[in-house]
């Protein structure tokens, strides 16, 4: 068999294995999933604590690979010490690190927080820019962070894919994508609207019901629509 054909057959085999693991949700099932999420989580909000867009951005930046519970333990003292971007820009980097040292990757996050504050002061007059592409130009702010900030601050029609959303969307057969960005594109395409609420719903659902290990299937309103119990990681 020619090499090219062997590679094609190998690719088809991988695809068929993938398809055999999780069946793609049908259009009707997707509509049902969306309706059930909106019914059960109609008032879903982030569990991060904040009082303004500056604090929200900091909290979201700190939450990367860290629990919201841990972030909420860190931020009260941090916000009190550095209430404005100017205060954070002028702070000692070592003092910022000391404030967030119980957070994962605190060294890098401290550098990003200070660099973010500096740019906000120098380029945006101390105000957090509420445009996704502009937000993404700030140090330490990628698409997921920008989306979460705009979802929470502006109820923007975006969805952000963290580990919970990634796992839930794959278990329900809403996406086969292997990256958060591609998964976000799939979810945006199939859900279309109410994305801000659906994002919060999927986060809370993944955190408390559709957990990575030992999901609470007996309490799950989506159990009849579940395609897999696999522990998906993004």
Torsion of CA 221, 225, 228, 233, to 10 degrees: -70
Q: Give φ, ψ of 80 to 5 degrees.
A: -70, -40
Fold of 24-45+158-225: Endonuclease Iii, domain 2 (1.10.1670)
Examine the residue annotation and report whether 162 is marked as an active-site residue of this protein. Answer: yes
Determine contact, residues 64/44, Cβ cutoff 8 Å. Answer: no
CA proximity to 207, closest of 105, 64, 68, 31: 68
Examine the residue annotation and report whether 144 is marked as an active-site residue of this protein. Answer: yes
For domain 53-154, give the CATH superfamily.
Hypothetical protein; domain 2 (1.10.340.30)
Determine contact, residues 56/48, Cβ cutoff 8 Å. Answer: yes
Residue 43 is predicted with a pLDDT of 87
Share of the chain above pLDDT 70, in %: 91
pLDDT tens-digit profile of 119-165? 999 999 999 999 999 999 999 999 999 999 999 999 999 999 999 99
Task: Give the Å distances, CA to CA, from 159 to 146, 156, 189, 209.
Answer: 10, 9, 11, 19
Provide CB contacts within 8 A for 77, sequence distance 6+.
Answer: 99
**Which of these is catalytic: 118, 162, 186, 211?**
162
Q: How many CB atoms lie within 10 A of CB 208?
A: 12
Q: Which residues of 109-145 are buried (b: 16+ CB within 10 A; e: fewer)?
A: bbebbbbbbbbbbeeeeeebbeeeeebeebebbebbb
Residue 210 is predicted with a pLDDT of 96
**Cα 155 from Cα 148, distance rounded (Å):** 9
**Which of these is catalytic: 34, 45, 144, 229?**
144
Kindly report the pTM of this predicted structure.
0.87
Residue 233 is predicted with a pLDDT of 81
Tell me whether domains 24-45+158-225 and 53-154 share a fold: no
pLDDT tens-digit profile of 23-58? 899 999 999 999 999 999 998 999 999 999 999 999
Residue 6 has pLDDT above 60, yes or no: no
Torsion of CA 110, 111, 113, 117, to 10 degrees: 140
Residue 13 has pLDDT above 80, yes or no: no
CA proximity to 64, closest of 114, 100, 20, 94: 100
Domain ranges, ordered by start, for the chain: 24-45+158-225, 53-154
């Amino acid at each position: 068999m020619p090499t090219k054909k062997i590679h094609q057959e190998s690719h088809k085999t991988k695809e068929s294995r993938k398809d055999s693991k999780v069946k793609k949700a049908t259009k009707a099932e997707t509509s049902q999933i969306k309706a059930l999420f909106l019914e059960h989580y109609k008032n879903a909000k982030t569990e991060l604590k904040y009082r303004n867009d500056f604090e929200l951005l900091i909290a979201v930046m700190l939450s990367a690979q860290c629990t919201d519970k841990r972030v909420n333990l860190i931020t009260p003292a941090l916000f009190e010490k550095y209430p404005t971007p100017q205060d954070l820009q002028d702070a000692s980097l070592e003092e910022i690190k000391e404030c967030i040292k119980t957070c994962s990757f605190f060294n890098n996050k401290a550098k990003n927080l200070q660099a973010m504050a500096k740019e906000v002061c120098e380029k945006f007059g101390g105000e957090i820019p509420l445009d996704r592409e502009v937000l993404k130009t700030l140090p330490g702010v990628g698409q997921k962070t920008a989306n979460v900030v705009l979802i929470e601050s502006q109820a923007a029609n975006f969805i952000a894919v963290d580990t919970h959303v990634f796992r839930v969307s794959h278990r329900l057969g809403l996406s086969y994508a292997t990256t958060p960005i591609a998964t976000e594109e799939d979810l945006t395409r199939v859900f279309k609207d109410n994305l801000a609420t659906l994002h919060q719903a999927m986060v809370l659902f993944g955190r408390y019901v559709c957990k990575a290990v030992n999901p609470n299937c007996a309490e799950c309103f989506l159990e009849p629509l579940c395609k897999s119990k696999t522990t998906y990681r993004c």
